[in-house]
Amino acid sequence: MTTYGDFPGVQVTTAGGGITAVAIGDEENLVIFGEAQYARSGQFTDTLSADTADGLESSLNASIQTPEQINARSEADTLFGDGSELANAMKEALANGANIDYLYGVAVERYLQQDVESSQTGTLSNTPIYEDTDEIVWTDDSTELTVEFTYDGEPTTPTDADTVYLNPLTGQYAADTSPSVDFEVDYRSLDYKSAFEDSAVQNTVIENETGIFVALSDSDAVSSDLETEVSNMRQDYKLVNALNGAEPNDVEEVLDESEQRVRFDARYDTVGYSSANQSIDADYYFKLAPVRKDGIKDTVLGGVGGLFAGNPINDPIYNDALNGYESLEQTFSKSDADNMREEHIIPIRQAGSIRVKDNLSTSTETDWERDFWRRRITDRVILIANTVGNDIIGRINDEQTRNSAERQIEAEIRSLVDDRLLRSNADGENWFVDVYESSTEADQVNIDIGFTPYGVVKRIDATVTINT
């Protein structure tokens, strides 16, 4: 059960039951958070201190942590930098259905950090870490150590001398030996949290609107911060749905021609992956895997955001192809996809084209199927109830007022039936609207709405008969 709003005002409670629910509009605001091109402030010197912000390249027209719109695809490059993660993601969103009039990009802040660590293993203070080993200086006294990124949770102890394994998503590290004095670590981190909290960002979606927030990250820490802000926005009837990548839990060595390790690639052990690997349990939050492009840290999440925001409400997202991508870092088999789906992660499969193979949220509730199709429809009904409720606040609480509200809601529900989103009452009661005076509060009107959405074809059971 989820409650939106509070008194005085309109309060809407949603719950599962004999008649279940879902919904949203054709055009949705899409806000994408990610990395731009930054002006490198250098490593620590006498004049630099911790928490020094790099800022954007001086030639760019965007501002850090500010929602920016574009009038053409090329403007993404002039705002955020040609070839940057965020510029590419905005163009990929447009290629997959996003409406340019409702598309925003937000460059997250990048900070220079310094930690002092006294143990062979530990966790750096600020995550996610900017994934470029050239931007990390790890020293033990006067010796500079080699840093390699790994993604399988807490890193194992390296066997190579003067080496540190670092998980950039969690900040966990393991060195080959304990420090002779202390480890001094200069690195860069990305501040997604402040971008999510920014008031201008949150006002890209106003009351009684819907939207999609996409973080171009597969960090659980990032998703936790995003879920917190989206949850707060939804209480104000800013009905945002959120998505990002599921955090990897495995790695694969990439070797050169001499059989020397080049890097560790992020991977998913789909058999060992469980809901405990991701911390979000919400029917408005959607996580996907794998999301990284082959050989680089950039993701396909921009295109996924365009697909989610651009699809009409009566066109379910299931088995939809993503445009503009060549290959993923990991190829899921059908059993891999099934394993991840069971853990409330949406699998992305590459078999010729790259396809989004489900639309389930991270919610573990079972009273109704918490997928994006039903979430959109439910959100639409919530907004109908809120809008009509606001219309009658301040009126006389009599039968005329209540009947007017009931007729208005019924008309909106019938339009959803006509759009083939909800089942009609022609074959039994599949939806109802009751507006009535509270039996305990003379100044309160109660609105009860029930509805049953159509399902989405997800399974085919075919029978082939031979030699009849």
Kindly report the backbone phi and psi dihedral angles of residue 181, in degrees, each rounded to the nearest multiple of 5, phi listed first: -125, -85
Q: Which of 191, 209, 231 is the last residue of a domain?
A: 191
To 5 degrees, how large is the angle CA 79–CA 137–CA 183? 135
Statement to judge: residues 285 and 147 lie in one domain: no
Domain boundary, last residue among 323, 356, 389: 356
Could you tell me if 269 and 226 lie in one domain? yes
Domain range enclosing 422? 2-11+374-451
311 assigned to some structural domain? yes
17 lies in a domain? no
Is residue 64 one of the residues assigned to a domain? Answer: yes
Please tell me whether residues 288 and 423 are part of one structural domain: no
Q: Which two tokens stand for residue 452?
A: 């049953």
Could you tell me if 87 and 137 lie in one domain?
no
Same domain, 151 and 172: yes
Same domain, 179 and 318: no
With respect to residue 466, please indicate whether it lies within any of the assigned structural domains.
no
Supply the pLDDT for residue 21.
Answer: 30
Q: 278 and 336: one domain? A: yes
- Domain check: are 64 and 123 in the same one? no
* Tens of each residue's pLDDT in the chain, 468 residues: 567 666 555 566 766 544 333 223 356 899 999 999 999 876 665 555 656 889 899 999 999 999 999 999 999 999 999 999 999 999 999 999 999 999 999 999 999 999 999 999 999 999 999 999 999 999 999 899 999 999 999 999 999 999 999 999 999 999 999 999 999 999 999 999 999 999 999 999 999 899 999 999 999 999 999 999 999 999 999 999 999 999 999 999 998 888 888 899 999 999 989 765 567 999 999 999 999 999 889 999 999 999 999 988 888 888 999 999 999 999 999 999 999 999 999 999 998 899 999 999 999 888 888 899 999 999 999 999 998 898 899 999 999 999 999 999 999 899 889 988 889 998 778 999 999 999 999 899 999 999 988 877 777 777 777 876
Last residue of a domain, one of 356, 391, 413: 356
CA atoms within 13 A on the CB side of 281: 10
407-to-24, 49, 90, 237, 264 alpha-carbon distances in Å: 20, 63, 42, 22, 61
| Total domains in the fold of the chain | 3
**Residue 378 belongs to some domain of the structure:** yes
- CA pair distance 458, 48, nearest whole angstrom: 56
pTM: 0.90
Residue 39 in any domain: the answer is yes
Residues 289 and 402 in one domain: no
Q: Are residues 232 and 275 in the same domain?
A: yes
pLDDT of residue 292: 97
250 lies in the same domain as 331: yes
Tell whether 63 is covered by a domain.
Answer: yes
- 127 and 160 in one domain? yes
Question: Does the residue 158 lie in any domain?
Answer: yes
Q: Token pair for residue 261? A: 């390790």
